[in-house]
């Protein structure tokens, strides 16, 4: 039955990723992969919050499967991040490629820590 939680979360995460990516690209353009950056940082925040909630004992395994594995697994994407960074480098925009790697890593980790800290404040 665990697979059903993953499936349900992914059914929300995948379209949410696509729609968010398109909305962000429409607003900010495609020179820099802001859509992928946005979904990856948002997913990191949710995963940090979920990890903190699990550590506090308020998020059971079903919720972790639904939100962590399903929703965030479908929402976030390391492969697209990698291919977009490669595309930037191949097109000669090395500054954007380096910025994508550095900003995505720093913002993703920062969001995960912020989520965990928020969970710790809500569920001490």
| Residue 93 counted as an annotated binding residue | no
Q: What is the DSSP letter of 66?
A: I
Residue from 66, 49, 46 nearest 58 by CA: 49
| Residue 76 counted as an annotated binding residue | yes
Helix ranges (DSSP H) in the chain: 2-28, 34-55, 61-63, 73-75, 78-90, 94-122
Q: What is the DSSP letter of 45?
A: H
Provide the annotated binding site for Na(+): 73, 76
Q: Detail the residues annotated as belonging to a binding site.
A: 73, 76
């Amino acid at each position: 039955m665990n697979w059903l939680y993953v499936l349900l979360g992914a059914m929300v995460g995948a379209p949410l990723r696509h729609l968010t990516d398109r909305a962000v690209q429409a607003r900010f353009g495609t020179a820099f992969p802001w859509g992928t950056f946005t979904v990856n940082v948002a997913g990191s925040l949710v995963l940090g919050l979920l990890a903190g909630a699990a550590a506090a004992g308020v998020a059971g395994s079903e919720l972790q499967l639904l939100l962590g594995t399903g929703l965030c697994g479908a929402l976030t994407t390391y492969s697209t991040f990698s291919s977009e960074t490669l595309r930037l480098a191949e097109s000669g925009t090395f500054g954007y490629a380096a910025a994508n790697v550095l900003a995505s890593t720093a913002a993703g980790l920062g969001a995960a820590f912020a989520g965990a800290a928020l969970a710790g404040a809500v569920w001490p």
